[in-house]
Structure 1
Amino acid sequence: MSEPARRFPWAPGVSTGLGSLPGSDVVEAVSFVLDTVPEFAYLPELPARGLGADMIGRTASLLVELPMEWQPHGWTVTGAAGQDLRRARDFLHRDLDAITEHGAGLDVLKVQVTGPVTLAANAELPNLHKVLSDHGAFRDLSESLAEGVRLHLAELASRLPGTALVLQLDEPSLPAALSGSVPTPSGYGTVRSISRSVAGPALQRVLAGASPGSRTVHCCAADVPFDLLVSSGADAVAIDFALLNKANLDSVGEIVDAGTSLWLGVVPSSDAELSFAAARERVFGLWRRLGFDDALLAGTVVPTPACGLAGASPGYARRATKLLRDVGRSLLDGAEPSRS
């Protein structure tokens, strides 16, 4: 493996979170992130605040000329914005104010957005079909999202001049959409599969809103389509270590060899026993299996939780984040951990 061709805005030996945290106080959450992982900070998401702070509602607030509202069956495309969308926009505005006030001088800030496929797999049309089931509606949604992400990043750039912005697209539903296993709203059937030739350009449109080297896709599901993500413009892929298997290990090696950063979820996202040694060994163990030089590890792998931490207790979220920070820094040693 040669040195990665791309240079990422984050430094070697850092860790980061995947977005969500427990609690409802955004200033407290921002302060925690800035105190714990200032080298690779992220805009925290707090779904415990309620409707509009959830991942679908939060991303719906970014859409341009495509309003959504909460209906009894879920977030639904509507003709005009209502109180639910206004609430989602208000949450996001408060979050941006908090990071603007407390995050001046940050080198790097990551923001998370639900990806177009997962958004379409969860949002519905007025006829109660998933957006994903209508290719025309899906294209409209992905174009609206792409413009919304571009404007979102532009606003952040104006609020935090000099800070490099990293975009993370959350795509947990992508494998199910490709395999045709997304359930219909009734739950009695599944939405027809979406082809890679449709999903890829949608991902590419949204990722294009971020600068090259700053585009990440997070997929905490089995059967991650690594090649599709990289061909769509992802500079980094975030995955759950526990879902790796022999079938996808070769794919991981291929994208890493091509210069893609690997964000590796090495601690559980909900309360569990934590071990620095075990988390670090997961990183080094995978690196050994892939056969790459230890000297390249810190510049390629970013330790993360397996998924968001919204379902964890506040104490666990703090401990897990600090442990991951220490794991990341330890990778700079460039040597395998002791097996004694």
Structure 2
Amino acid sequence: MTRFAWWEDIRTTHTDLRASLAAAARRTRDVDEDVGVVPPLSLPRSAVDDGLLMETAAMGVTVGGPYLRSHARGWEVAPGKTLDMRAFLGRRHELTDIIAEVMPGTDRLMVHVTGPWTFGASVEYRGHPLCFDRPAFRDVALALGEGVREFCDAVGASVVHVHERRFAEVTSMLVGATDFETMSVDREIATNVERRFLEQMRGDYGEEGGREIILDTGCLYPELASLDSTLVVDRLDDEVARLVDSGTAVAWRVGGERSSEELAHTVMRTWKQWTFDGESPEPQIDLVAVGEDILTPNAAAELARTVRGAAALLHRN
């Protein structure tokens, strides 16, 4: 199983990309012996609403992907260049230049992106969610996958965190512009689309197997265990135990409301309560430092200290 120990899924109030990246590096750097592995360094994310959606679209633009523009309900596909996309394209280019300047060859850089189903459910095309138009959705999903791969190649990122929190909604009932307009995608079909997207991003980076992928869907469907990725979970329950027993790497989303000791004790106590069918797997549950809101630099540092401390306790015990 892939080991990460811990990483960040946060946005901060930094207005300067260089300062934001430097702060993230200070929060993430550990002595390897503390947590057992080199943790991934999350690249800065925009504090703008739906910033992750726009950043992913900006990556896709490089290979002919969609331009987006804002409207009353959120975002829609635009026929050409927009001021919204120009700002995010400029930010992407600036971040690429800064990384090349200050941290070339850094181990385990992590890029956060929006998954294809969440993108397709959140962006409109001709007045309806993009994924309602299957040919258009297919083209956009392919462009996003290639664009993310090219951006990861440019910055030397070896880990991609895919945010796909609307996966369960798409596979149950996605509501369109009105309550009378709905769609549902078979889980197997949705999983195959996700697999194609992940394979695009893996590419042939580094060692055999390509980039490491982390997938956060907000659900634990059995089909997702076949995607050869670390699955992010919201809670530690029997479904998680079955994933661990099958050899799937798991990461638990945690905030800063508990101390390092409480987080570590929760993981260890839960692990002892689980019963595994086969040989007991190596005790490994990674931790994800989740900031529900935009965090100040001090709050981000405190959250990182708490989660990093819990990962260190788990490693020693």
Q: TM-score, with normalisation over the residues of structure 1?
A: 0.79
Q: What is the match of residue 311 of structure 1?
A: 294
Question: 1:295 Cα shift?
Answer: 8.5
Does the C-alpha gap of structure 1 residues 112 and 203 become closer, same or farther in structure 2, counting only changes over 3 Å?
Answer: same
1:58 aligns with 2:58: no
2:242 maps to amino acid: E
Q: Pairwise mapping of residues 1-340 of structure 1 onto structure 2 (< 5 A)?
A: 4=1, 8=2, 10=3, 14-38=5-29, 39-48=38-47, 50=48, 54-63=51-60, 64-72=63-71, 73-125=73-125, 127-157=126-156, 165-180=158-173, 182-186=174-178, 188-189=179-180, 191-208=182-199, 209-210=201-202, 212=209, 214-219=212-217, 221=218, 224-231=219-226, 233-241=227-235, 244=236, 249-268=237-256, 273-291=257-275, 296-297=282-283, 300-305=284-289, 307-308=290-291, 310-334=293-317
Residue 308 of structure 1 deviates from its aligned partner by: 4.2
Does the residue aligned with 2:92 lie in a helix, a strand or coil? helix
Q: TM-score, normalised by structure 2?
A: 0.84
Q: Which residue in the other structure is 2:33 paired with? A: none
Separation in structure 1 between the aligned mates of residue 307 and residue 46 of structure 2, nearest angstrom: 22
Unaligned runs of 5+ in 1: 158-163, 335-340
* 2:145/2:198 contact within 8 Å kept: yes
- Give the conservation status (yes or no) of the 8 Å contact 1:117–1:177: yes
For the residue of structure 2 that corresponds to 1:179, the secondary structure is coil
Unpaired stretches in structure 2, ≥5 consecutive residues: 30-37
In structure 2, C-alpha distance between the alignment counterparts of 1:295 and 1:203, rounded to whole Å:
27
One-letter amino acid of the structure 2 residue matched with residue 141 of structure 1: V
Tell me, in whole angstroms, the C-alpha distance in 1 between the residues paired with 2:291 and 2:111. Answer: 13
RMSD: 2.5
The Cα of 1:83 is off from its aligned counterpart by 1.9
Separation in structure 1 between the aligned mates of residue 224 and residue 139 of structure 2, nearest angstrom: 21
Letter paired with 1:284: M
CA separation of 1:229 and 1:103: change in aligned 2, threshold 3 A: farther
Q: Deviations over 1:221-253 (max 9, x none)?
A: 3xx13423222x242011223xx5xxxx33322
Q: CA deviation at 1:267?
A: 2.1
Question: Do the aligned residues in 2 keep the contact of 1:56 with 1:75 (CA within 8 Å)?
Answer: no
The answer to whether the Cα contact below 8 Å between 1:19 and 1:112 also exists between their aligned partners in 2 is no
Is the CA contact (8 Å cut-off) linking 1:226 and 1:252 kept in structure 2? no
Amino acid at match of 2:42: L
| Amino acid across the alignment from 2:223 | L
Which runs of 4 or more aligned residues in structure 1 lie more than 6 Å from their structure 2 counterparts after TM superposition? 292-295
Q: 1:99 to 1:190 in 2, by over 3 A?
A: farther
Partner secondary structure for residue 66 of structure 1: coil
> Matched residue of 1:141: which SS?
helix
Name the CA shift for 1:100/1:302 in 2 (closer, same or farther; >3 Å). farther
| Stretch moving more, 95-104 or 147-156 | 95-104
Provide the secondary structure at the position in 2 that maps to 1:259.
Answer: coil
Q: Distance in 2 between matches of 1:29 and 1:190?
A: 42
Q: Contact 2:244/2:281 (CA < 8 Å) preserved in 1?
A: no
Give how far 1:196 is off: 1.6
Q: Distance in 2 between matches of 1:267 and 1:291?
A: 27
Q: What is the CA distance between 1:205 and its match in structure 2?
A: 1.4
Higher strand share: 2
Q: 1: distance between equivalents of 2:127 and 2:41?
A: 35
2:159 match: secondary structure: strand
Tell me, in whole angstroms, the C-alpha distance in 2 between the residues paired with 1:116 and 1:169. Answer: 9
* AA of the residue aligned to 1:185: A
Residues 274-319 of structure 1 show CA distances to partners (whole Å, capped at 9, x for unaligned) of 412221122223322334699822xx321112x3454334322211
- The amino acid of 1:89's aligned partner reads L
